[in-house]
């Protein structure tokens, strides 16, 4: 409970500051959102689950910068995005609701666009959402939940890359294994208390914009 309360305080404090910092790029963000909404059967869709209380279209700290970086690295391919629709709060059902929405969306999108490939992005609680969706339970982790839905086997080959940041299951000594392991980049900043057991640098949990280019390079190499 203490860790959850610390995460809430960190997210709320960071969210207020981040909202202010992100204000100048509001027009660009709105343009990206409009483009994504209008896209039909693009080559690649970035499905992003934001962190707890995180502002931004796909997530100011991770989703938005990763999407922008990936756009530059996949010239010649059309790109769209989807923000997982879930509360991203501290309720006990939040991650489970994100898990359900991600799986439902990707299944529907894969049926409508058979040639489309996916990049799954998850930050903090959003990493729990992605973990669950690919069959790695986040139960027992900070703002985690039991698995309620998983991507079907028919969709699995369409997932080109899984990008995780500040993944809470890592503090439990867990990681992505099995089918998706070779396609997963799981970044935990040194001292991040959300993903590192015993970590005590709360600022590290807000540092993942610095890894956007690395993550985009990883994903682009698998598309």
Q: Would you name the residues annotated as active-site residues?
A: 124, 192, 205
Tokens of 68: 């922008």
Rounded Cα gap, residues 19 and 86, in angstroms: 19
**Bridging pattern class, strands 44-49 and 159-165:** unpaired
DSSP tally for the chain: helices H, then strands E: 6, 5
Beta-bridge partners for 164: 122, 186
Which residues have CB under 8 Å from 131's CB, separation 6+?
Answer: 122, 137, 138, 144, 164, 167, 169, 176
Rounded Cα gap, residues 191 and 121, in angstroms: 21
Beta-bridge partners for 123: 165
Buried b (16+ CB within 10 A) or exposed e, 123-135: bbbbbbbbbbbbb
């Amino acid at each position: 409970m203490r860790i959850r309360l610390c995460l809430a305080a960190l997210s709320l404090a960071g969210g207020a500051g981040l909202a202010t910092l992100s204000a100048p790029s509001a027009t660009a963000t709105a343009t990206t959102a409009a483009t994504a909404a209008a896209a039909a059967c693009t080559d690649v869709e970035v499905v992003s689950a934001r962190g707890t209380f995180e502002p931004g279209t796909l997530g100011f700290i991770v989703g938005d910068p990763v999407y922008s970086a990936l756009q530059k690295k996949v010239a010649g391919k059309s790109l769209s995005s989807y923000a997982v629709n879930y509360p991203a709060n501290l309720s006990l059902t939040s991650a489970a609701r994100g898990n359900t929405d991600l799986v439902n969306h990707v299944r529907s999108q894969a049926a409508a666009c058979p040639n489309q490939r996916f990049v799954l992005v998850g930050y903090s609680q959003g990493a729990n959402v992605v973990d669950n969706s690919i069959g790695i339970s986040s139960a027992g982790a900070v703002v985690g939940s039991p698995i309620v839905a998983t991507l079907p086997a028919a969709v699995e080959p369409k997932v080109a890359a899984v990008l995780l940041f500040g993944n809470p299951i890592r503090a439990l000594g867990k990681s992505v294994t099995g089918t998706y392991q070779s396609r997963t980049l799981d970044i935990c900043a040194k001292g991040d208390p959300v993903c590192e057991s015993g970590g005590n640098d709360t600022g590290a949990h807000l540092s993942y914009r610095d890894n956007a280019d690395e993550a985009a390079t990883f994903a682009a190499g698998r598309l």
